[in-house]
A = this chain, B = another copy of it.
Amino acid sequence: MGFWKSLLLGFNSPTASAVAVAGRSLEVPDQGHGEVYTSDAATDSRIFFSTDRTLDLYELEELCSSVGWSRRPLRKVRKALQNSFLVVSMWEQRGKRRRLIGFARATSDHAFNATIWDVVVRPSSQGQGLGKALMQHTIKKLRNEDISNITLFADPHVVQFYEGLGFNPDPEGIKGMFWYPD
Contact B169 A177 (CB under 8 A): yes
**Contact between chains at B177 and A151 (CB < 8 Å):** yes
Check A175–B159 contact: CB distance below 8 A.
yes
Per the bound structure, the CA–CA distance linking A153 and B182 in Å amounts to: 20
Q: For the complex, give the distance between the alpha carbons of A170 and B163 in Å.
A: 16
Q: Map CB proximity to B onto A171-182 as digits: 1 under 8 Å, 0 otherwise.
A: 111111111111
Q: State how many copies of this chain the complex holds.
A: 2
A179→B179 CA distance, assembly (Å) = 23
| Bound-complex Cα distance A15 to B105 (A) | 25
Say whether chain A's binding surface is mostly helix, strand, loop, or mixed: mixed
Q: Interface size on A (CB < 8 Å)?
A: 56
Please report the C-alpha to C-alpha distance between residue A148 and residue B11 in the assembled complex, in whole angstroms.
Answer: 10
Give the residues in chain B near A108, CB-CB below 8 Å.
Answer: 83, 107
A175 in contact with B182 (CB, 8 Å): no
Stretch in contact with the other chain, from A27-35, A41-49, A56-64, A109-117: A109-117
CB distance from A145 to the nearest CB of B (A): 11
- Residue in chain B with minimal CB distance to A181: B166
Whether A156 contacts B177 by the Cβ 8 Å rule is no
5 closest A-B pairs by CB: A176-B176, A156-B173, A80-B111, A150-B179, A167-B177
Interface residues of A (CB under 8 A from B): 10-12, 15, 72, 76-77, 79-85, 105, 107-113, 115, 117, 139, 143, 148-156, 159, 162-163, 165-182
